[in-house]
């Protein structure tokens, strides 16, 4: 068995590893921005609505500040996303050349949705000053829909790679008789889509709320921080139990549709009933498992609600058609970390819900806010873990059971790819560090301005002195050359 794997690794082209690392690194970086690209507009619009509806200046200020953050974040997301579409050709030309017309249409939907998103976000970000307040809000409102449409395209493409459908193979092994609808709505599409959408919205919610939880812990307990915490945290807390159910359901879909991937994420070696569940632990190439907590029968029960459920094991397929022991262990750990964090977040959400139901107030314990402060980071970790589970668990296939990663890879020399990886790592580290620095500077600047303007009169003076353009959004303003008379808050 070992020699079979060694033989396989020896067969793999030298450029496979750097190509994989490059794809993994750029995707792992981009995916950290995805929750904000998809969900930050929605959360901001929620706050915006509150501000307009109740005439709440604090809510409007929060919405404006989140817009300023969104402007930078969206731009970084665009460039890191564009890199990924280039990489589909630069790294995996074999996959796109053979399968592009079968599953590429999802990307087509995504591209147009993304175009719409770019237009709407420009209107929203640059509309604060001169558009009428409600016009501005309504122009922004389709943003979450465009984002959901974009996610539809991307997830359709990814779920097709997991459960490819909608074609037949001719004698030479090329896909013919393409059925686009079947290729988009594959068995894994539904579970993946809802799991993804819920995941990114709650991640964005926890990250944004975490910023204000930190402020709260540092003693900035004013209405601004309360509102900045409550709105995104409530969204995330409501979705957390929903996500728990969706996560459980997608695991069962994987069990039915991709049994070998399920075996990898649960490190099941031999096909059997009464299969135990391992919490963490490590799978060895000979099928033994070391470490971890063994819970008898549980895996069968989770997969089919009965200890008699038969679970397919890794050894049911030849070594060349399944993830290696190391890959299975990686997928298993990623899965377990995701489930652990998800369970802890459910507890946090329940804590919040309990206090809200009983007292209509935030929990008083600083431990709640400490947990809330790290929840965002933990959520980003689960996003990475979920992606690792689905991608590593699918190995060695790029198109499940139809094309190996090694067949899709470019024939560019390994040394070139390693060099490119080095350049890209340096570049991304710089870009992300600069991005975070800019965000921190913005926040520090705002805090400084807030704290140096303690009285209403002082604020007005400071605003007048610093307001180069001469007016503030949605406030009384002098007649503008373009649209005089567009008045105050509605």
Partner 1 sequence: MTEDVVAWVLLAVVAAYACAGGTDYGAGFWDLLAGGTERGKRPRWLIDHAMAPVWETNNVWLIFILVIMWTGFPVLFQTVFTAMWLPLALAAVGLVLRGAGFALRKPTQRLAGRRVYGAAFAVSSLLTPFFLGAAVGGLATGRVAPGTKASADAWSNGTSVIAGLLTVAATAFLGAVFLTADARRFDAADLVGYFRLRAWCSLGALAVLAVVGLAVTGDDARYVHDRLTGGIGLTLVLLAVVGALATAGLLYRTATGWARITAVGSVALVVVAWGLAQRPYLIPTSLTVSEAAGATTTLRWLLLVTAIAVVLVGPPLVLLYRLDTAGALQPLAEADLRRTAAGREPENT
Restricting to residues 225-244, which ones interact with partner 1 according to CB under 8 A? 226-227
Q: Rule CB under 8 A: choose which of 39, 48, 87, 259 binds partner 1.
A: 87
Q: Which of residues 112-131 bind partner 1 (CB under 8 A)?
A: 112, 114-116, 118-123, 125-131
The strand pairing partners of 399, in sequence order, are: 403
In the complex, what is the shortest distance from the CB of residue 446 to partner 1, in angstroms, rounded to a whole number?
A: 6
Q: Rule CB under 8 A: choose which of 19, 38, 83, 260 binds partner 1.
A: 83
The reply on whether position 17 binds partner 1 by CB under 8 A is: no
The crossing angle, in degrees rounded to 10, of helices 189-217 and 143-162 is 130
Q: Which of residues 141-160 bind partner 1 (CB under 8 A)?
A: none
Question: CB–CB of 69/211 below 8 Å?
Answer: no
The reply on whether position 414 binds partner 1 by CB under 8 A is: no
Contact mark string toward partner 1, 448..467, x via CB under 8 A: -xx--xxxx--xx-xx--xx
Pairing of strands 175-176, 168-169: antiparallel
Q: Rule CB under 8 A: choose which of 12, 28, 31, 109 binds partner 1.
A: 109
The reply on whether position 63 binds partner 1 by CB under 8 A is: no
In the complex, what is the shortest distance from the CB of residue 180 to partner 1, in angstroms, rounded to a whole number?
A: 5
Measured CA to CA, the distance from residue 25 to residue 203 in angstroms comes to: 20
The reply on whether position 54 binds partner 1 by CB under 8 A is: no
The reply on whether position 444 binds partner 1 by CB under 8 A is: no
Q: Which of residues 179-208 bind partner 1 (CB under 8 A)?
A: 179-180
The reply on whether position 212 binds partner 1 by CB under 8 A is: no
Per the listing, tokens 């009285």 go with 455
Q: Rule CB under 8 A: choose which of 4, 9, 97, 440 binds partner 1.
A: 97
> How remote is the C-alpha of 322 from its chain's centroid?
26
The reply on whether position 47 binds partner 1 by CB under 8 A is: no
For residue 478, what is the DSSP state? P
**Nearest residue to 261 via CA among 209, 202, 330:** 330
In the complex, what is the shortest distance from the CB of residue 121 to partner 1, in angstroms, rounded to a whole number?
A: 7
| Number of residues that this document lists for the chain | 490
**Cα dihedral: 414, 416, 418, 419 (round 10):** 170
The reply on whether position 99 binds partner 1 by CB under 8 A is: yes
Measured CA to CA, the distance from residue 280 to residue 267 in angstroms comes to: 9
CB atoms within 10 A of CB 99: 25
**Nearest residue to 387 via CA among 182, 154, 186, 87:** 154
In the complex, what is the shortest distance from the CB of residue 470 to partner 1, in angstroms, rounded to a whole number?
A: 9
Q: 3-state class of 91 per DSSP?
A: coil
In the complex, what is the shortest distance from the CB of residue 429 to partner 1, in angstroms, rounded to a whole number?
A: 12
Q: 3-state class of 141 per DSSP?
A: coil
> Near partner 1 by CB under 8 A, which window of 11-19, 232-240, 391-399, 436-444?
436-444
The reply on whether position 369 binds partner 1 by CB under 8 A is: no
The reply on whether position 425 binds partner 1 by CB under 8 A is: no
Nearer to partner 1, 246 or 373 (CB): 373
Nearer to partner 1, 245 or 427 (CB): 427
Measured CA to CA, the distance from residue 404 to residue 397 in angstroms comes to: 4
The reply on whether position 80 binds partner 1 by CB under 8 A is: yes
Measured CA to CA, the distance from residue 211 to residue 230 in angstroms comes to: 11
The strand pairing partners of 60, in sequence order, are: none
């Amino acid at each position: 068995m070992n020699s079979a794997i060694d033989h396989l690794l020896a067969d793999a082209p030298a450029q496979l590893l750097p190509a994989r690392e490059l794809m993994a690194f750029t995707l792992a970086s981009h995916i950290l921005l995805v929750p904000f690209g998809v969900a930050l507009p929605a959360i901001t619009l929620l706050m915006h609505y509150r501000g307009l509806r109740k005439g709440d200046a604090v809510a409007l200020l929060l919405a404006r500040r989140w817009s300023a953050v969104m402007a930078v974040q969206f731009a970084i997301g665009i460039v890191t996303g564009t890199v990924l579409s280039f990489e589909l050709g630069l790294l995996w030309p074999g996959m796109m050349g053979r399968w592009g017309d079968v599953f590429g249409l999802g990307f087509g939907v995504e591209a147009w949705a993304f175009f719409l998103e770019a237009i709407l976000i420009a209107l929203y970000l640059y509309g604060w000053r001169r558009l009428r307040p409600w016009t501005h809000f309504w122009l922004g409102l389709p943003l979450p829909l465009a984002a959901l449409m974009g996610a539809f395209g991307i997830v359709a493409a990814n779920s097709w790679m997991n459960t490819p459908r909608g074609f037949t193979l001719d004698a030479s092994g090329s896909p013919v008789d393409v059925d686009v609808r079947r290729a988009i709505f594959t068995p894994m599409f539904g579970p993946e889509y809802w799991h993804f959408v819920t995941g990114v919205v709650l991640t964005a919610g926890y990250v944004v709320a975490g910023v204000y939880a930190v402020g709260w812990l540092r003693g900035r307990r004013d209405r601004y921080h309360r509102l900045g915490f409550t709105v995104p945290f409530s969204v995330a807390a409501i979705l957390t139990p929903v996500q728990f159910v969706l996560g459980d359901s997608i695991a069962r879909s994987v069990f039915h549709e991709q049994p070998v991937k399920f075996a990898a994420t649960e490190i099941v070696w031999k096909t059997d009933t009464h299969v135990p569940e391992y919490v963490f632990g490590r799978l060895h190439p000979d099928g033994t498992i070391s470490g971890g907590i063994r819970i008898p029968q549980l895996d069968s029960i989770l997969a089919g609600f009965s200890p008699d459920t038969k679970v397919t094991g890794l050894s049911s397929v030849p070594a060349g058609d399944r993830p290696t022991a190391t890959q299975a262990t990686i997928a298993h750990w990623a899965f377990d970390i995701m489930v652990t964090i998800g369970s802890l977040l459910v507890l946090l959400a329940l804590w919040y819900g309990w206090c809200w139901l009983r007292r209509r107030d935030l929990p008083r314990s600083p431990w709640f806010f400490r947990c809330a402060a790290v929840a965002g980071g933990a959520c980003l970790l689960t996003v990475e873990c979920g992606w690792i589970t689905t991608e590593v668990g699918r190995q060695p296939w790029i198109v499940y059971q139809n094309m190996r990663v090694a067949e899709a890879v470019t024939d560019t020399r390994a040394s070139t790819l390693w060099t490119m990886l080095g350049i890209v790592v340096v570049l991304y580290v710089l870009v992300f560090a600069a991005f975070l620095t800019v965000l921190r500077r913005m926040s520090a600047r705002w805090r400084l301005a807030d704290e140096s303007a303690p009285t209403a009169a002082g604020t007005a003076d400071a605003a007048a002195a610093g307001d180069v353009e001469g007016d503030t959004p949605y406030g009384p303003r002098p007649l503008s050359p373009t649209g005089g008379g567009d008045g105050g808050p509605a």
